[in-house]
Amino acid sequence: MDLKKVISDLGGDLDQITSDLAKISGTLSQLGLSEYESRAYIALVALGSGSANFVAEISQIPRTSAYKVMGSLEAKGFVSPKQGRPKSFLPTDPEELSRKFVGEVEESFGKVARLKDLLSERGVPQLVYTIIGKDRVLEKLREMLDRSENSFVMSSPSLLQIRGQLSRAFSNAVARGVRVTVITSPFVKAPAKVKVIRRKGLIATDAISDGKTALIAAPDFSACGYTDNEALSKHLEDFLTIMIQSPE
């Protein structure tokens, strides 16, 4: 039994269901969820609550991965444990998650805008450049990694996508002796031989190279703000340093 069959048996349009589930999974992946996590969360929302094994059955993920997937979703705030035995889970309300993510994205880009406005008021030429398009944003991240000489610090809930596109760039940077630090969500696999810091509630992707260039990207990498101004980059680097040094 799977989720599409359950909904179809209730009278839903199977083709439309398949299309909708694919779009929802794509959106959730942009928020840092793996394919298994996306399937499990969608299934849990449909079920209302359920054990890890039942969610695995409905979402068609391996039972051996069930508890790991649910633990990761709990750490990311998408589910919460339910009282009682056997252990089961409740989904976080989709509207609550929507408000949370929209608010945090707006806050992140609001900070960039305020910095830009502040510098403009002081007569400083434009220092933050907007880059549009996922491919261009990821290419800019690659460029920053390739040009790093001493340090590269990145915070992102979407490391799965970044690692898939930039694994060689990470490896080359480490081989050159660059100190690479990655701040990412619990349970997300990081590139080999980098320093990894685990933090919950990450939204935007932030990156700083050598304390000289910086980038802040939307969760889906559709756009980013980029600067090669050292003062502005240092401001973001100080923020990430606080994240690295603060207790989890």
pLDDT in tens, 76-134: 888 888 887 778 898 888 888 888 877 777 777 776 666 666 555 555 555 678 888 88
Q: Percentage of the chain surpassing pLDDT 90?
A: 18
Kindly report the number of other CB atoms within 10 A of residue 169's CB atom: 21
Q: Any idea which fold 3-92 has?
A: Arc Repressor Mutant, subunit A (1.10.10)
- What are the structural domain ranges in the chain? 3-92, 96-245
In this predicted structure, the answer to whether residue 7 has a pLDDT above a threshold of 70 is no
CATH of domain 96-245: 3.30.870.10
Residue of 125 and 139 predicted with greater confidence? 139
How far from the centroid of its chain's Cα atoms is residue 11's Cα? 35
pLDDT tens figures, 226-237: 888 887 787 777
53 contacts 44 by C-beta, under 8 angstroms: no
pLDDT band at 14 (very low <50, low <70, confident <90, very high): very low
155 contacts 183 by C-beta, under 8 angstroms: yes
pLDDT given at position 172? 95
Find the mean pLDDT for residues 175-187: 90
What one-character DSSP code corresponds to residue 81? E
pLDDT given at position 116? 62
Alpha helices in the chain (DSSP H): 3-9, 14-30, 35-47, 52-59, 66-75, 94-121, 134-147, 159-175, 230-245
Residue 224's nearest CA partner among 154, 130, 102, 139 is: 130
